[in-house]
Chain A
Amino acid sequence: MGHIDWAEIAQASLDTLAMLGGSMILTVLLGLPLGVILFLTGKGQMLDNRAANGALSLLVNILRSVPFVILLIVMIPLTVALVGTSLGVAGAIPPLVAGAAPFFARLVETALREVDKGVIEASFAMGAKRRQVVINALLPEAMPGIIAAATVTAIALVSYTAMAGVVGAGGLGDLAIRFGYQRFQTDVMVVTVVLLLVLVQALQMVGDRVVRRVSHR
């Protein structure tokens, strides 16, 4: 294990966690409302609106169909405009969010569709306003599904951060590629991959536990 630079691995781990944390927060902040709007403007729903739903759906599908590596490169000018650089942790966050938020939004939409229509109807029958139905009934009822969606999204983001390493974002994925793959330092690659695995396992475990906590079905 001669050439393992543990300090560098520690730094890379921190970078990965920072990228993951930063992009996850923004993904939820953007993706959750987007998913709710996608759901509400859908056919037969509260704000049924074909035009708005079609436009949003198209935007989401475009972002989801572009391979992430391409998104990373295409977004460089926008990223520079937003955060001043396309490098490092900060430079990775805009493309990560652009890749993950539409994905998360779709999963949120699906989770909301699973909510029993009768419960929504009962809420209206009790005199709830639309906003109250969404905030006090729809979202709490869909919460287990939304947490599960967030878990899947966070794990997808872990592999996105590894790809972001390709354009100079740093992090564990970057380390695995530069040392492990390009310089044949297999041991560095193994250590980084194990660390990524531990991270994914931890996310899944925490996610599952929270789902169980909020689910009362």
Chain B
Amino acid sequence: MIAFEAVSKTYAPKAKAGGEGHVALSGVSLSVRAGEVFGVIGASGAGKSTLIRLINGLERPTDGRVVVDGDDVAALGVEGLRDLRRRVGMIFQHFNLLSSKTVADNVAFPLKLAGRPAAEVKARTAELLARVGLSDQAAKYPAQLSGGQKQRVGVARALATGPKVLLCDEATSALDPETTEQILDLVSGLNRELGLTIVLITHEMDVVRRVCDRVAVLEAGRVVETGAVEDVFLHPASATARRFVREADGEPAAGAVLAGRVVRLTFRGEATYKPVLGEVARTTGVDYSILGGRIHRLRETPYGQLTLALTGGDVDAAIAQFQAAGVRVDPVLIGEGA
């Protein structure tokens, strides 16, 4: 649905500074499949907004190609770009609603811009407001709404022209945890029910974990890791990804490492609920100290991760037995953290 082919973006230098310009993205290649929720995570200034703005042509690549729904975005003319933008909706961190228009008029705005007949605009607006649960707020102005309600208006507006793709630029970063959850539920509902392809940008691993299928990790304008959320989340390969995972889970009790072999066990799906630990300890005679752990859900899949120090008994047999029970075992290097 969306493909980045070796895309670079350099912002023109400030005339006065006379410098080289600012490299926001370099050599980014990734592809977003139709119907998936694709996350892009990165720290502030990593180039996330630049990346998402390339998708609907708000920015042009300095190098490489961005192909969206079969169109090379940079090659589109004015009309082609407008047409693309009706197929790609966008929501924003600060909502960007028109303060001079009512909720209903904000939602109707893209339809009016597209020159749709008044009767259709009215019917569609009512339908969209019902979808986001704001039918009773139609006549209010954005200033009279809460943050979560404003973002719902943003979502309804982004859906007005019936897009195939929804871009979310830090759409929950200005919201409290409870409201964030509501908006994420709404967005993943759109993905399931309408088959919408979603590109979601965030600096919070928790957001990725809750709704994304796959994720790309962005560091200083480069993609340092891409993969299924489960893999990146449970076995982050890059330092950046590890940092985000740790932020999401809190610091484990590293440093308290004693004697023995330190390993990390990863339970996924059914294995999470099996009483494997005690069984293995009994049959192999190993003792374990728990150094850190977490039990959570990745969308619908439960998982658990435990960092253990194994002592005494037959450690190798214990590891083999864990693996036989469908538990992944990784050695942990001291200082790496969990």
Interface residues, chain A, CB within 8 Å of chain B? 116, 118-119, 121-129, 132, 136-137, 140-141, 143, 214, 216-217
Convert B95-114 into 0s and 1s, putting 1 for each residue whose CB lies closer than 8 angstroms to a CB of A: 01111110000000110111
Given contacts A128-B113, A216-B100, contact A122 B85 (CB under 8 A): no
| Minimal beta-carbon separation of B103 from chain A (angstroms) | 11
Q: Which of B86-94, B286-294, B301-309 contacts A (4 or more CB under 8 A)?
A: B86-94
Say yes or no: A127 contacts B96, CB within 8 Å: no
Say yes or no: A217 contacts B99, CB within 8 Å: yes
Q: Select B82's contact among A127, A140, A214, A217, beta carbons within 8 Å.
A: A127
Interface centre among A126, A141, A214, A216 (most CB of B within 10 A): A126
Q: Select B100's contact among A118, A127, A129, A214, beta carbons within 8 Å.
A: A214
Given contacts A119-B96, A141-B98, contact A136 B109 (CB under 8 A): yes
Given contacts A136-B109, A136-B112, A217-B143, contact A125 B98 (CB under 8 A): no
Further pairs besides A118-B92, A118-B94: 9, Cβ < 8 Å:
A123-B109, A125-B90, A126-B85, A126-B113, A128-B82, A129-B113, A137-B98, A141-B99, A214-B100
Say yes or no: B94 contacts A127, CB within 8 Å: no
Say yes or no: A140 contacts B90, CB within 8 Å: no
| Minimal beta-carbon separation of B71 from chain A (angstroms) | 14
Given contacts A136-B109, A217-B143, contact A127 B98 (CB under 8 A): no
Interface residues, chain B, CB within 8 Å of chain A? 56, 58, 78, 82-83, 85-86, 90, 92, 94, 96-101, 109-110, 112-114, 141-143, 157, 160-161
Chain A residues within 8 Å of B96, by CB: 116, 118-119, 121-122
Closest-by-CB residue of B relative to A117 is B96
Closest-by-CB residue of B relative to A144 is B100
Say yes or no: A132 contacts B113, CB within 8 Å: yes
Chain A residues within 8 Å of B58, by CB: 121, 124-125
| Minimal beta-carbon separation of A34 from chain B (angstroms) | 22
Chain A residues within 8 Å of B141, by CB: 216
Bound complex: CA A140 to CA B94 (Å): 19
Bound complex: CA A140 to CA B92 (Å): 21
| Minimal beta-carbon separation of B238 from chain A (angstroms) | 31
Say yes or no: A136 contacts B56, CB within 8 Å: no
Given contacts A127-B161, A136-B109, A136-B112, contact A122 B100 (CB under 8 A): no
Given contacts A136-B109, A140-B100, A143-B100, contact A127 B143 (CB under 8 A): no
Closest-by-CB residue of A relative to B82 is A127
Interface centre among B98, B109, B141 (most CB of A within 10 A): B98
Supply 11 A–B pairs (Cβ within 8 Å), ascending by A.
A119-B96, A119-B98, A119-B99, A121-B58, A122-B96, A127-B82, A127-B110, A128-B82, A136-B109, A136-B113, A141-B98
Say yes or no: A216 contacts B99, CB within 8 Å: yes
Bound complex: CA A141 to CA B97 (Å): 10
Chain B residues within 8 Å of A141, by CB: 98-100
Say yes or no: A140 contacts B85, CB within 8 Å: no
Bound complex: CA A126 to CA B97 (Å): 12
Chain A residues within 8 Å of B86, by CB: 126-127
Bound complex: CA A141 to CA B98 (Å): 7
Bound complex: CA A126 to CA B161 (Å): 9
Chain A residues within 8 Å of B143, by CB: 216-217
| Minimal beta-carbon separation of A134 from chain B (angstroms) | 12
Q: Select B98's contact among A121, A124, A140, A214, beta carbons within 8 Å.
A: A140
Given contacts A121-B58, A122-B90, A122-B92, contact A127 B113 (CB under 8 A): yes
Closest-by-CB residue of A relative to B114 is A127
Chain B residues within 8 Å of A123, by CB: 109, 113
Q: Select B101's contact among A118, A126, A140, beta carbons within 8 Å.
A: A140
Chain B residues within 8 Å of A124, by CB: 58, 85
Say yes or no: B82 contacts A129, CB within 8 Å: yes
Interface centre among B83, B85, B160 (most CB of A within 10 A): B85
| Minimal beta-carbon separation of A128 from chain B (angstroms) | 5
| Minimal beta-carbon separation of A127 from chain B (angstroms) | 4
Given contacts A140-B100, A141-B100, A143-B100, contact A126 B94 (CB under 8 A): no
Interface centre among A119, A127, A136, A140 (most CB of B within 10 A): A127
Bound complex: CA A214 to CA B99 (Å): 10
| Minimal beta-carbon separation of A143 from chain B (angstroms) | 6
Chain B residues within 8 Å of A119, by CB: 96-99
Chain A residues within 8 Å of B56, by CB: 125
Chain B residues within 8 Å of A216, by CB: 99-100, 141-143
